[in-house]
Amino acid sequence: MSSTPRASDAAAVQMPLIEARDLRVAFQMQRGVFQAIRGVSFSLGQEKLAIVGESGSGKSTVGRAIMRLNPPSAIVTAERLAFKDVDLLSASRKELRRLRGRHISMIMQDPKYSLNPVATVGEQIAEAYRTHHKVSNREARERALTMLEAVQIRSPKRVYDLYPHQVSGGMGQRIMIAMMLISDPEVLIADEPTSALDVTVRLQILAILDDMVKERGLGMIFISHDLNLVRSFCDRVIIMYAGRIVETVAAADLDNVQHPYSRGLLNSLPRLDQKRDRLPVIQRDDSWLEAV
Amino acid sequence: MGRFFKRNKIKRAAQSLASVLVTLLLLVTLTFFLGQVMPVDVVSRLVGPDADQATYQATYERLGLDQPIIVQFGIYISRMLQGDFGTALLTGHQVLDDIVRVFPATIELGTLALLIGAGIGVPLGVLAAVQRNRPADHIIRVVTLLGHSVPIFWIGLMGLLLFYSYLGWVGGGGRVEIYYDGLVETRTGLLLVDSLLAGDTEVFWSAVRHIILPATVLGYASMASLCRLTRSFMIDQLSQEYVTAARVKGVSEWNVIWHHAFRNIRVQLLTVIALTYGSMLEGAVLIETIFAWPGFGQYLTNNLLLGDMNAIMVCVLLVGVIFITLNMLADLLYKIFDPRTVQ
Amino acid sequence: MSAQASEVPAKRKKVAFLDREATSVTEAFLQRLLVGVHTFLSNGLAVAGLSIILLLIAVAAFAPWIATHDPNLQNLSMALKPPSSVNWFGTDEYGRDIFSRIVYGSRVTLYIVTLVTITVGPIGLIVGTVSGYYGGTVDMIVMRITDLFLAFPGLILTLTFVAILGPGLEQAVLAIALTGWPAIARLARAETMTIRSSDYIAAARLQGASSLRIIFGSIIPVCMSSVIVRLTLGMASVILTAAGLGFLGLGAQPPTPEWGAMTSAGREYMLDSWWLVTAPGVAIMVVSLAFNLFGDGLRDVLDPKSK
């Protein structure tokens, strides 16, 4: 896919799955240009990397920029934005299509909107497989059924022929996971995969996701606004504010963050083990916009 | 639970049927009273200007015109229920017979026009949506706006001038060359079908040469509106999350457009097309006049010019019935073909 | 990229008036007006439409000075002459100058459009808002009637009314207006239904405002923009319908220089004298297109959500 000569095997192991250096995304608005992502750099290995931040911080835009799925009005630039040794910015549409689903995949927020309402769920899962593999309809169907089983759906044959409006949110998200992992990608971007779900099914979905990630040795970018979730689920955490990374920490050290914004985020969480009168509101500082 | 749904469904069907019946009754009432206010002396039209007073009076009473208006209305309704819609002054036949005779010509023309309009309009609309705000979209926008702005009778005339008299590519007025007229046995009333059934290719090609221009002109207006609707439906769908999800899977843009987005507007589009079919009658009035097409539109126009109120009212009633039926059909299509209505 | 970034503040400064929070009603109104005008002017096609409409009005107003001939003056020795430096668009079967007839015809077109619009607009608006505001039986009856009207293709219904009223320009206007109001009423009703339950209407009612006052003071102004958009877009179809009626001989009667009737009259001579039907048809098309373009642009400004 790329003409650059392959480095030694040792280096290839070291090579990150995703590497972003000074990633910037701007949107062409009616009046001027809006900078959504303003110089973000990180790399992803075989790990679970969380990106947290409040809404509007640009965390979802980062995910979509990696998939190159921003709307046409978006202007994406970077010093480097790559999957392994493939430059995502200069890749052709065809190359990108080969990457999507097969190498990099994404689980979206709400299965109610991200599943095609007029196609059966089985058809949609099978399509994900058939897009990258030349197989018969029958084999694609078998694969899809196996995958439905893998996400712990009890009667896959029945579910296969259901339409999205006939399944619950939790099952919809399992279907989404099945659909996005059926072609064995190496990188999975999960964009708030549980925030549209009932609290009771969130943990189930996370457990399934966790299993799948471990089993397949995936690199995962977990986009969320839920610090507690991220703390227990991920290895490393990137904290974003207004299109920039303010801090990167190991999930275990999350309580020791330095940046005032990160501290603010943590302090505004309610806790069961400590009595707190009133949750503080984050005190913002314009200097954060320039920092790091 | 299942039974509850069923009963609910029957109730809803009954309600919609009742509402259709009310509309039809209103329609009949309206046409009757419109006939009443017409400043036309029906009797003298029937008996002729030279008839003596006694004949006039006899006809007057035979038509029930001496009765109070409410009784006349009752007679009008009961006659209609018996299938008696009165005689047309123009032809001397029963209006209903006339309509049955001329209608196939209009159906043939309208169907072909719809095929042309939808066949071009829908793909253009999809293209415009995909190419939104790019040059192709702007060009299509101008083409469709022209379709909304051009007088259909004028395009018809210009088409005749260019393709018939200057280029000679198509036939002129009428359904076939005059010397082929009546050669083919009428079975369906659709000349293209009848001539094929009779195995007469000469008549068939003559009929094709004659129908192609009026059908294209008639189809143009529907093409414009179908194109604009398709565009806005598609733009709606293309911004949905499931489209992004399909792209995440690596699905090709062609399949994203046709297998995902378009599949979601199919039913919506089908209902719109059903309604467009009805509006063909409107264009047919003008087109049939220009192309001497012996169909419903021409029949209505001739009656209008003659002022035969009864015949006009029957025509209008029929148009109303067709429209209401198509509306119901469109509703039904939605219920049958949209998987979202599956319980 | 960095060049674009540095451009942003510069652009902000230029439109500072629009970005700052309005401190008075007048200022808010001015801001909205400016944004609207800006949106409209950035739509080249809409501006073209408006220009053509203004041109049409000018031509109609100054017809006697623009026309090169008397539009009704017959001169059989000059009949069916092709376009020339004397008769720019040629002459018709009676030797009348087609250019001058087109110029005077603009008056007929404007007359029809204006008359239809000023009847249909207020009637539809009042019927729709009253029906939507009161609901209940009134609403049901009104909606049944509009249903009935909307169950027909417009032209067929107009033709029926013309059949009853008899052919003629005034009758055509009346027939078109009779067919046109239900669509406006429907629109106004739908808008009223959504406004009716809003808090500021409840507040007005609590302050003791009468129904009439609420309808005219609070509901109609809100419905106004979408009704205006619909009316403007409707003008194009009014022009086409009127021309169609003229063409069928049911609209304006000769010798009125109505464009549709002119097309119809020219039909017989069309094969030898193409200019008889060409010029009036182009005139109808251009004007109708202008109203469509203008209406489209207006919609983007006044009613952006319906786009």
Contact A24 C4 (CB under 8 A): no
Contact flag A31-C11 (C-beta cutoff 8 Å): yes
Is the model's pLDDT at A79 over the cut of 90?
Answer: yes
Task: Select the residue of A31, A75, A77 nearest C15 (Cβ to Cβ).
Answer: A31
Long-range contacts of B283-286 (CB under 8 A, 24+ apart): B283/B113, B283/B152, B283/B218, B283/B221, B283/B222, B284/B106, B284/B109, B284/B110, B284/B218, B285/C155, B285/C156, B285/C159, B285/C244, B285/C248, B286/B152, B286/B153, B286/B156, B286/C155, B286/C244, B286/C247, B286/C248
Using the Cβ of A131 and the Cβ atoms of chain B, whether some distance falls under 8 Å is answered with yes
Of chain B, the percentage scoring pLDDT greater than 70 comes to 92
The radius of gyration of chain B's CA atoms, rounded to the nearest angstrom, is 25
Asked if B339 lies within 8 A of A118 by C-beta distance, the reply is yes
pLDDT at residue B331 is higher than 90: no
A125 pLDDT higher than 90: yes
Give the pLDDT band of residue B6 (cuts 50, 70, 90): low
Tokens describing residue B106: 């209009």
Q: Do A33 and C15 touch (CB under 8 A)?
A: no
Flag if B323 and C162 touch (Cβ within 8 Å): no
Name which of B241, B252, B264 is nearest A97 (Cβ-Cβ): B252
- Average pLDDT on C265-289 reads 91
Band (pLDDT 50/70/90 cuts) for residue C306 is: low
Q: Do A114 and B263 touch (CB under 8 A)?
A: no
**CA distance linking residue B205 with residue C39, whole number of Å:** 53
**Residue whose entry in the numeric block shows the structure tokens 């009890």:** A154
| pLDDT for res C34 | 86
| Chain C residues touching residue A75 (CB < 8 angstroms) | 1, 4
> The tokens 């750099």 sit on which residue?
A41
Out of A6-20, B185-199, B289-303, C259-273, which region has the weakest mean confidence (pLDDT)? A6-20
Residue spans of the domains in chain C: they are 1-42, 55-306
The answer to whether A238 faces chain B, any CB pair under 8 Å, is: no
CB-based contact, A91 to chain B, within 8 Å: no
**Residue B155: per-residue pLDDT:** 94
Question: In the A/B pair of chains, how many CB contacts fall below 8 A?
Answer: 80
pLDDT in tens, C121-152: 999 999 999 999 998 888 888 888 888 888 77
pLDDT digit string, tens, across residues B135-153: 999 999 989 989 989 999 9
CB contact under 8 A, B145 and C296: yes
What band does A290 get if pLDDT is binned at 50, 70 and 90?
Answer: low
Higher pLDDT, A160 or A263: A160
Contacts of B338 in chain A (CB under 8 A): 118
pLDDT tens-digit map of B13-29: 777 778 777 877 887 78
Contacting subunits of A (3+ beta carbon pairs below 8 A): B, C
Other beta carbons within 10 angstroms of residue C264's beta carbon come to 24
Q: Are the C-beta atoms of C249 and C263 separated by less than 8 Å? A: no
Band (pLDDT 50/70/90 cuts) for residue B79 is: confident
Percent of chain A scoring above 70 in pLDDT = 92
Q: Alpha-carbon distance B40 to B169, whole Å?
A: 45
Q: Which two tokens stand for residue C261?
A: 């009737």
**Average pLDDT for residues B53-57, to the nearest whole number?**
80
CB contact under 8 A, B304 and C289: no
pLDDT of residue A292: 46
Does C262 have pLDDT greater than 90?
yes
Identify the structural domains of chain A with CATH numbers, from first to last: 16-270+280-289 (3.40.50.300)
What is the CATH topology of the domain spanning C55-306? MetI-like fold (1.10.3720)
For residue B193 the two structure tokens come to 């079908």
**Residue bearing tokens 């970018």:** A221
Q: Which domains does chain B have, with CATH numbers?
A: 103-308 (1.10.3720.10)
Name the residue in chain A with its Cα closest to that of C18.
Answer: A31
Among B176-190, B218-232, C85-99, C239-253, where is mean pLDDT lowest? B176-190
List, for residues A137-146, the tens digit of each pLDDT value: 999 999 999 9
Confidence of residue A83 (pLDDT cuts 50, 70, 90): very high
**pLDDT tens digits along C15-64:** 466 666 777 778 888 888 888 888 888 888 899 999 999 999 999 999 99
Helices B296-306 and C154-165, axial angle in degrees (round to 10):
20
Task: Read off the pLDDT of each residue in A98-105 and give the average, rounded to a whole number.
Answer: 93
The SS3 assignment for A239 reads strand
Instruction: With CA atoms as reference, report the closest residue to C153 among B104, B116, B297.
Output: B297
Provide the token pair at B270.
């089908």
State whether B316 and C160 contact (CB < 8 Å): yes
Give the chain A residue nearest C42 (alpha carbons): A30
Q: Nearest CA to CA, how far is B172 from chain C (Å)?
A: 12
pLDDT, position B249: 94
* pTM for this predicted structure: 0.84
* Interface subset of B 228-267, CB within 8 angstroms of C: 232
The CA distance from C222 to the nearest CA of chain B, in Å, is: 25
- Cβ <8 Å between B323 and C148: no
CA gyration radius, chain A:
20
Asked if pLDDT for residue B311 goes beyond 80, the answer is yes
Dihedral (CA of C13, C14, C19, C24) sign? positive
Read off the pLDDT of each residue in A282-287 and give the average, rounded to a whole number: 73
- Percent pLDDT > 90 in chain C is 42
Backbone angles phi, psi at B165, to 5 degrees: -85, -35
What confidence tier does A130 reach under pLDDT thresholds 50, 70, 90? very high
Are the beta carbons of B68 and B335 closer than 8 angstroms? Answer: no
Task: Answer whether residue B178 shows pLDDT above 80.
Answer: no
